[in-house]
A and B are shown apart, each in its own frame.
Chain A
Amino acid sequence: MRISGLAARLVLSPTVLVTMVCFYGCAVWTAYISFTKSSFIPNYTFNGLAQYERLFATPRWGVAYSNMFIFGILLVVGALAVGLMLAIMIDRNVRGEGFFRTVMLYPLSMSFIVTGLAWQWVLSPSIGVQHFVRDLGFPNFTFDWIAQQDRAIYTLVFAGVWHQAGLIMAIMLAGLRGVDRDIWRATKVEGIPTWRVYLGIVLPMLRPLVVTCVVLLSVAVVKSYDLVVAMTGGGPGFASDLPGKFVVDFSFERANIGQASAAAVVMLGSVFAALAPYFYVELRKRPQ
């Protein structure tokens, strides 16, 4: 027993070490840098909260930061709703299930870069949907959200939901297939409408799967960088900027490590603050 415990520890220790150094070590270093005078290269002179003061006085950061919440909430809710609807539709034993399942999963096999480019073309007023509908004989049709500062962020949500919904569908479908057939029979006998069975009985049973989906989607939100770069480039102006792009721009193109670190720390803190209570509640329920 003792020896096997030791062996397990030995086997695990490289992973633990890598995690400690690469993840926690770098996170601590980044946090430290954000309190220094660093700009072009690291400078370890302590500078208090100056980097954060400047960060929050930067209009572009304000836009990027609030966009993270708009994009995040809409993407998580949207992808969950669409994915669940698709899963339920397929679960109703449609004909050609295999075909639909494959089609719905296809977007996921594409990178965000390809997704972003394709959606940029679809939404571009001069070549995409607007152009197409106008050519059909509706010359006043306007759909130029991607060109409008206050709408561009929602176009990213479309693309994100389109990309992620297939994955959610697959996970949810697996869950739906795991529901005991007896439950369905029992509800039939009682004469409960199908939609109520889904809403009141089946969905609560799938709760752990919903948590999994929320985790996967949240990760996609936080790391979304390539989608913005390919689709809107953060524009028009910087209206559809996201914190990930802000950090990369500032650390590489602008050569300002201090600002980039401060932004990264705020990002990490916000994600933690937003998700920690949810996981606390969800994960505490499990063991009983």
Chain B
Amino acid sequence: MARTRSALMGLVMSMAAGAASAQPADVIHWWTSGGESKAVGVFAAEFNKRGGTWIDNAVVGGPAARAASMNRIAGGNPPVATMWNVGVAVRQLAEQGLLTNLDDVAKSGNWVANLPPLIVKNISYDGHIVAVPVDLHGGNWMFYSKKIYDELKLQPAKDWDEFLVQAEKIKAAGYIPLAIGGQPFQEVWLWMPVLLGSTGKENFKKIYADHDATLAAGPGVKKAFEVMAKLRQYTDAGRPNRKWNDTLLLVQNNKAASQFLGDWGKGEFAAAGLKPMVDYGCAIAPGNQGAYIMNVDVFAFPKNSKPEVLATQKKLAEVMMDPAVQAQFNLFKGALPARLDANISALDVCAQAGKQIIDGGPANQMPNSALAFSSDVDGQISDLITSYFNSTTMTADAATAAFAKIIANADK
């Protein structure tokens, strides 16, 4: 009897203690692969060290995780924090008044001065900060087989015309010049560096960030479509519906010379025990010198009816925006920290090269599709690119006209 009573007392006391300290933070994210879950563990450990309670809520797959977040927000039981791809989608959430205002944390942490302006624009709504950017992936990398490039005495191409000349040589030597899987998003990852290399970084930014429809109908875009059509001839027959990481195996095994994808590709090389610039090469895509196509993951904090959640959310935001924590996080994630003042000396050679470009200032910082367009418009572009890249009948002129039309109708 006495024992029961003391157990009950203990329970009541621990409940009281729980109420006094901060709310536990349940965080929805879709980082489930080896390196990714290690990375997110950095946030969890640091948050717990500073007195919080991290409840990990990993959902496999971005769309499923976003659907889970949306359902919980709509159902009145929002998670404390939820991961999202930065871009118009976050602003749309904010527009509905669903996100916590982080202005005071941002001010005390001096966020705005230490983030690329394009990112600040994309985490703000109506002048208020509503999301926390945690990484800065580069989307315009070329990963190449050092063995094939050394054997044929090639250097990474400086523009797309040179790349096509090299591709002919590589093909003649019996290798696959360009590894790509036939999935729309892989084709879009190829399209962006091709467009940037063909039209120049100023024009790329005007088309993507400012939705300049005149430029989108111009000769640079047409050139990009022509390059895409030529590139198709240097791919292999096993392309249909092949996953990006299976495709990367072709480069790892020196069967294919190159693949264009974001720096998350490094994770696959690392998992295979390969080192950058020793076992494989990384270079910024042809014609993309001095340009870094940014792909950013953010956490948003949905508004909650319980007032004590707000303190938890602010504490979590503080942890995630701590430069030292971000540096540690990105060591596992393979990206650059979103905070430009973070110390990145521990990151690999590819990341160091990317950092140099980013530090060149806003003129070098390019938006990717998700930063520039709503997921709806992003999807329309993806549909166009994939149907063009797989069609033998669609002309570059027709594709350019269709592209210009999408850009013209894109909401600002």
A contact set with B: CB distance below 8 Å:
39-41, 58-60, 120, 124-127, 130, 144, 146-147, 149, 152, 231-233, 235-239, 249-250, 252-256, 259
Contact = CB atoms under 8 A, between A and B. Distances in A.
B378 to A, nearest CB: 8
B89 A232 contact: no
B390 A236 contact: yes
B387 A59 contact: yes
Contacts of A124: 237-238, 240
Contacts of A147: 182, 237, 239-240
A249 B387 contact: no
Given A149-B390, A237-B386, A237-B391, A254 B376 contact: yes
B238 A231 contact: no
A252 B67 contact: yes
Contacts of A58: 383
Which 5 pairs of residues, A with B, have the shortest CB-CB distance?
A: A126-B238, A236-B390, A237-B390, A125-B237, A237-B387
Contacts of A259: 376
Q: Is the interface of A mostly helix, strand, loop or mixed?
A: loop
A39 B238 contact: no
Given A59-B383, A235-B386, A239-B390, A254 B239 contact: no
Given A235-B182, A252-B67, A259-B376, 7 more contacts: A58-B383, A60-B383, A147-B240, A149-B390, A232-B241, A233-B182, A238-B386
B241 A235 contact: yes
A238 B96 contact: no
A238 B237 contact: no
Contacts of A256: 375-376, 379
A120 B390 CA distance: 17
Interface string B233-271: 000111111000000000000000000000000000000
Contact of A236 (B182, B374, B375, B378): B182
A237 B240 CA distance: 9
Contacts of A120: 240-241
Contact of A232 (B92, B96, B240): B240
Most chain B CB atoms below 10 A, which of A58, A126, A147, A254? A254
Interface of B: 63, 66-67, 70, 74, 89, 92, 96, 182-184, 236-241, 374-376, 378-379, 383, 386-392
A232 B375 CA distance: 22
A39 B373 CA distance: 14
A253 B67 CA distance: 9
Q: Is the interface of B mostly helix, strand, loop or mixed?
A: helix
Contacts, number: 89
B352 to A, nearest CB: 34
B170 to A, nearest CB: 17
Contact of B237 (A40, A144, A239, A253): A144
18 contacts: A39-B374, A40-B92, A60-B383, A60-B387, A144-B237, A146-B240, A147-B182, A149-B391, A233-B182, A233-B183, A233-B184, A235-B240, A235-B241, A236-B390, A238-B383, A238-B386, A250-B379, A255-B89
A152 B387 CA distance: 13
B237 A126 contact: yes
Contacts of A149: 390-392
A252 B63 contact: yes
A255 B376 contact: yes
B66 A252 contact: yes
A235 B239 CA distance: 10
Contacts of B383: 58-60, 238
A41 B96 CA distance: 9
Given A60-B383, A237-B386, A255-B89, A39 B240 contact: no
Contact of A233 (B70, B241, B391): B241
Contacts of B70: 41
B240 A236 contact: yes
Contacts of B184: 233, 235, 238
Nearest to B236: A126
B61 to A, nearest CB: 10
Given A252-B66, A255-B89, A255-B376, A235 B237 contact: no
A144 B237 CA distance: 8
Contacts of B238: 124-127
Nearest to A230: B241
Contacts of B92: 40-41, 255
Contacts of A250: 379
A120 B96 CA distance: 43
Contacts of B182: 147, 233, 235-236
A231 B242 CA distance: 10
A40 B89 contact: yes
A261 to B, nearest CB: 14
Nearest to A146: B240
Contacts of B392: 149
A246 to B, nearest CB: 10
Contacts of B241: 120, 231-233, 235
Contacts of A146: 240
Contacts of B389: 237
A209 to B, nearest CB: 36
